Structures are given as structure tokens and as C-alpha cells.
């Protein structure tokens, strides 16, 4: 493949940047990350209530997840490079208020069709946070704490799948699904105030070039023989993660109370794995990513074999595999991107959004929970193989 010269982000002024206050920054960013990414998952426990209110089927309303994922993914492609050009803080001071407004708008949806459109717009608005936020941490957190910071925020993105689903299941009877979206809007308003309070001013940038120049690296990165395989593996990781939880909801595997326990089963893994990252980081990224994906494939295959007998334990193992696999993929993509690292990580976030939006449709397509588990296990194994192949491919 012909080598294309990637877009080099604007250079930062030579003076050493002031470092962000670690504790306050991580508190604001991790809580915001839970709220942002959780908007993808918050609908899953609400499908039956929304279907009853609109006279629709829960399976058909899985498009509420997919519509959000489409907007979310498109937003990464747009806003990731723009944060390189215009600054992380400036973008977030626009994005978080817009997220509040669009979340409130979803609560007013009179029909599924209107809700589908509004969810896509909501996804586009909240997509400003992940690429700008992760790039801010990479620039402004002191280097010795950077791995912990990135792992913690990545873990928060994953924890949102559990936290927001559990919160939605507990609160929907009291305030209804519309009330939950209004609550999300209030949360984004508070997130705006918190992030504004802790973020340092944007670094001065030089040599920004034309507006279109920030997007020149995208095709070369997407079709790069190494990074392309890793993006595909990332998509598969997220497809499986969302499809598992969607399958638990739509196939009635357990009672409502047991389902709450299953959703919460992954939280210990999501908390523990980031704490272990300083030690896990000693393992080469591609080997680490492959090992986590192989463990996830085995856990899913075991769920298919045992049914509900050991579901809590196996889901905890599976969530641990995802929690360790995604930061490992993030690192491997960053390491292989050269000067276009910021744009490459935006594409990593885009791959996550694509996987998250496709996951519900994959879950609905299998027609049953057991065949879904086997299918996802095969997909995870293929993702592990893709990472291995990418490690043996020449970079240029």
C-alpha cells in the first residue's frame, strides 16, 4: 500500500505545559465519562417500558441504541481532529451544554421515529467529550500518571454500561423513562460546571493549516495494514460487550431481580483492572490485548455451554477481559500512529461507537441467548487473531 503522509497536529508552544491537578481532574473526567458513554446503554433497561408506551416491540426499539451510536461515531470523526485545531477546553465548553439540551429533547419525544432522530443528535453532541477529553489527559497529566489516567477514564466508559443500566432499572418505576433523560440533562449541566472548573486553558498552537487539513490523515489510518486490523478488532470487542447486555434484556434469560445482579457483576472487574494496569503495562500491548480477547472468547463460550448456572462469575470474567482489552488496543493504536496519534485515537473512539451501535442489532439477529454467546465467542477469537496478524505485519 502506498504510504501517505499523515496530518501532523498543530505543534504546541515550546514552553513546558502546566500540569493538571490530578485528583480534581480525574474526578470530573471519570464522572463525566460515565455519564457520556452511559447514554448508549441507558435505553437498554427501558425498552419494555418505552415499547409499552408507544405500542411497539422491544426488539424494534433497539434502534434507539443504534441511532445514538451512529451519531456518536460520526461525532468522533468530526470533533477529534477539530480538538487538535481549536483546543480541548473550547470544544468541551460547547459540547457539554449541547449534550444537556439534546438529552432533554429526547425526553419530549412523541413517537419512536422522533426519538430515533433525537438520539442520533444526542450521540453527535456527547461525542465531543471522549476525543477531546482523552487528548487533554495525554497533554496535561504528568507523564508518570498518564497510564493510570487513561485506564481510569477508559474503565469509566465501560463502567457506564453497568452503572447507567442499574440506575435506569432502579429509577424507571419512580420517574419513568422520560424522567431519566431529564435527569441525564441535569447531569450534563453539572458536568459542564465541573469540567470548566478543573480544565486548564488551551495550549497555544502553531501551524494549524487549513480546516480540511485536519482530516487528511483519516483515510490512510483507516486503511493502514496494521491499524486497520486493530480497528476491526476494537469494533468486535464493543459489538460483543453491548450485544451481551442487550441479549440479557430482550431474551428474558433471568428474572428482573437477577438481571440487576448480572448487570452489577461486572463492576468489580471494571474497578480492579485499571488498578492493575501499572503492572499489566509491562506486557507488550499486542500480547496483552490478544490474551484479554482470548479470555473473553472462552468466557462467552462457557456461558453458552453452562447457561445461567455460572452466569455471574463468567460475566465478571468477560467484563474483565473487555476492561483490559480496550486500553491495550488504545495503546497499540497510539504506538503505531506516528505523528497522527490524535486522529488515530479519534478513529479508535469511532470504532467503539460503531461496535456499540451494531451490538444491539447483532443481539436481536441471533434469535436466542445461547446461539448469541457462541457467535460472539467466535467473533472475539477472530478479533484476537486479527491483533496477532497485525503484530506481524510491516508498519509501512
Half-sphere exposure of 328 (CA within 13 A, CB side): 28
Helix axes 143-198, 22-41, angle to 10 degrees: 80
Rounded to an integer, what distance in angstroms lies between the CA atom of residue 293 and that of residue 380? 6
pLDDT greater than 60 at residue 12: no
The overall average pLDDT reported for the chain is 84
pLDDT greater than 60 at residue 208: no
Q: pLDDT tens, 43-94?
A: 988 988 899 889 888 878 888 988 998 898 888 888 877 887 788 899 999 9
pLDDT greater than 90 at residue 126: yes
Domain locations in the chain as residue ranges: 21-197+217-391
Alpha helices in the chain, H assignment, sequence order: 22-41, 47-54, 63-86, 88-107, 112-126, 129-140, 143-198, 217-222, 227-250, 256-264, 267-280, 285-306, 311-335, 341-366, 369-391
Rounded to an integer, what distance in angstroms lies between the CA atom of residue 177 and that of residue 54? 12
SS3 for 182-238 is HHHHHHHHHHHHHHHHHCCCCCCEECCCCHHHHHCHHHHHHCCCCHHHHHHHHHHHH
According to the per-residue pLDDT averaged within each range, which of 167-171, 262-266, 311-315 is highest? 167-171
pLDDT for res 95? 92
Residue 390, C-alpha cell as written in the block: 497485525
Q: Which residues of 3-34 are buried (b: 16+ CB within 10 A; e: fewer)?
A: eeebbbbbeeeeeeeeebeeeebbebbbbbbb
Backbone dihedral angles phi then psi of residue 247, each to the nearest 5 degrees: -60, -40
- % pLDDT > 90, the chain: 34
- % pLDDT > 70, the chain: 89
In three-state secondary structure terms, 252 is coil
pLDDT greater than 50 at residue 148: yes
pLDDT for res 3? 37
pLDDT greater than 90 at residue 264: no
Query: Which residue has 426499539 as its cell numbers?
Result: 61
Q: pLDDT tens, 289-334?
A: 999 999 999 999 998 887 666 788 888 899 889 888 888 888 788 7
> The domain 21-197+217-391: what is its CATH number?
1.20.1250.20
Amino acid at each position: 500500500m502506498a504510504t501517505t503522509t499523515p496530518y501532523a497536529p498543530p505543534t504546541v508552544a515550546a514552553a513546558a505545559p502546566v500540569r493538571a491537578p490530578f485528583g480534581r481532574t480525574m474526578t470530573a473526567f471519570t464522572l463525566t465519562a460515565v455519564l457520556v458513554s452511559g447514554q448508549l446503554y441507558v435505553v437498554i433497561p427501558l425498552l419494555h417500558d418505552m415499547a409499552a408506551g408507544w405500542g411497539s416491540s422491544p426488539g424494534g426499539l433497539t434502534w434507539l441504541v443504534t441511532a445514538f451510536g451512529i451519531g456518536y461515531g460520526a461525532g468522533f470523526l468530526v470533533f477529534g481532529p477539530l480538538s487538535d485545531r481549536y483546543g480541548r477546553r473550547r470544544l468541551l465548553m460547547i459540547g457539554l451544554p449541547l449534550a444537556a439540551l439534546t438529552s432533554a429533547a429526547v425526553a419530549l419525544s412523541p413517537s419512536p421515529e422522533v426519538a430515533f432522530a433525537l438520539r442520533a443528535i444526542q450521540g453527535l453532541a456527547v461525542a465531543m467529550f471522549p476525543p477531546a477529553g482523552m487528548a487533554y489527559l495525554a497533554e496535561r497529566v504528568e507523564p508518570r500518571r498518564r497510564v493510570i489516567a487513561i485506564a481510569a477514564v477508559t474503565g469509566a466508559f465501560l463502567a457506564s454500561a453497568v452503572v447507567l443500566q442499574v440506575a435506569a432499572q432502579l429509577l424507571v418505576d419512580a420517574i419513568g423513562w422520560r424522567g431519566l433523560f431529564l435527569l441525564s440533562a441535569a447531569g450534563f449541566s453539572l458536568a459542564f460546571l465541573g469540567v470548566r472548573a478543573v480544565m486548564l486553558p488551551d495550549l497555544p498552537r502553531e501551524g494549524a493549516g487549513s480546516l480540511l487539513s485536519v482530516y487528511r490523515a483519516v483515510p490512510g489510518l483507516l486503511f493502514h495494514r496494521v491499524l486497520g486490523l486493530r480497528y476491526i478488532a476494537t469494533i468486535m470487542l464493543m459489538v460483543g460487550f453491548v450485544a451481551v447486555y442487550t441479549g440479557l434484556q430482550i431474551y428474558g434469560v433471568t428474572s428482573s431481580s437477577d438481571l440487576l445482579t448480572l448487570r452489577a457483576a461486572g463492576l468489580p472487574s471494571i474497578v480492579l483492572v485499571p488498578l492493575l494496569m501499572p503492572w499489566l503495562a509491562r506486557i507488550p500491548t499486542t500480547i496483552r490485548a490478544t490474551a484479554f480477547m482470548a479470555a473473553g472468547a472462552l468466557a462467552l463460550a462457557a456461558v453458552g455451554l453452562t447457561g445461567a448456572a455460572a452466569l455471574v462469575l463468567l460475566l465478571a470474567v468477560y467484563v474483565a477481559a473487555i476492561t483490559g482489552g480496550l486500553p491495550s488496543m488504545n495503546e497499540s493504536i497510539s504506538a503505531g500512529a506516528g505523528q497522527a496519534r490524535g486522529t488515530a485515537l479519534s478513529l479508535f473512539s469511532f470504532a467503539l461507537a460503531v461496535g456499540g451501535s451494531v451490538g444491539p442489532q447483532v443481539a436481536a439477529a441471533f434469535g436466542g441467548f445461547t446461539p448469541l454467546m457462541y457467535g460472539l465467542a467466535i467473533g472475539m477469537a477472530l478479533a484476537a487473531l486479527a491483533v496477532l496478524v497485525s503484530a506481524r505485519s510491516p508498519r509501512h
